[in-house]
Amino acid sequence: MIKIKVVNKGGQPLPAYATSQSAGMDLRANIDSPITLHPMERKLVPTGLHIALPVGFEAQVRPRSGLALKYGITVLNTPGTVDADYRGEIMVLLINFSSEDFVINAGERIAQLVIARHEQAEFEEVEVLDETERGAGGYGHTGVK
C-alpha cells in the first residue's frame, strides 16, 4: 500500500476504502449549500481535497455506479485524471443525463477515486508497423456474438 499526502480543506471525511478489496474510495461533495443539477446540465463539484501522488501514479476520478443507475448522474470526463504533479483541489465534473433535477448535498458521495500506476512513453516514428492477426480491424469488427 502506498502513502499519499493529503490536505483536507473541507469538512468531509478523507476518502477510504469501503471493503478490503475495493478499488476505489468515495469522494464527497464539499459544498456550503445544495447544488441542483438540471437535466443535461454539468457542474464542477469541489471535494476540498489536495493530494501529492508519488511519481509514476495517477488518481482516476470515476463515476459511482449507483448514481449512474438510479439517477443518471455520471462523471463527464471519465475517468478524470489527477497527475502526480497537480496540487490544486480535486474537483468532480458531474452531468445529469436524466430527465429529472438532481440535488447534491454537502457530504454526499459523488464519485470514486482510484489510484493507479502508469508509464510514460516515447514515440518512435517508423514507416511500417508489424503485422498482427487483428490488423486494422476497429470498432465492432468482431461482431456482437
Is residue 97 within 8 Å of 74, Cβ to Cβ?
Answer: yes
> How far is it, in rounded angstroms, from Cα 17 to Cα 2?
14
How many other C-beta atoms can be found within 10 angstroms of the C-beta atom of residue 64? 20
Question: Each residue of 6-52: pLDDT tens digit?
Answer: 999 998 999 999 999 999 999 999 999 999 999 999 999 999 999 99
Q: How high is the pLDDT of residue 86?
A: 98
Q: How high is the pLDDT of residue 133?
A: 84
Domain boundaries, the chain: 5-117
Question: Each residue of 91-130: pLDDT tens digit?
Answer: 999 999 999 999 999 999 999 999 999 999 999 999 999 9
Q: How high is the pLDDT of residue 144?
A: 72
Exposure string for 72-101, b = 16+ CB within 10 A, e = fewer: bbbbeeebbebeeeeeebbbbbbbbebeee
pTM exceeds 0.95 for this model: no
Widest Cα–Cα separation across the chain: 57
**Amino acid identity of 50?**
H
Q: How high is the pLDDT of residue 142?
A: 72
Fold for domain 5-117?
Answer: Deoxyuridine 5'-Triphosphate Nucleotidohydrolase; Chain A (2.70.40)
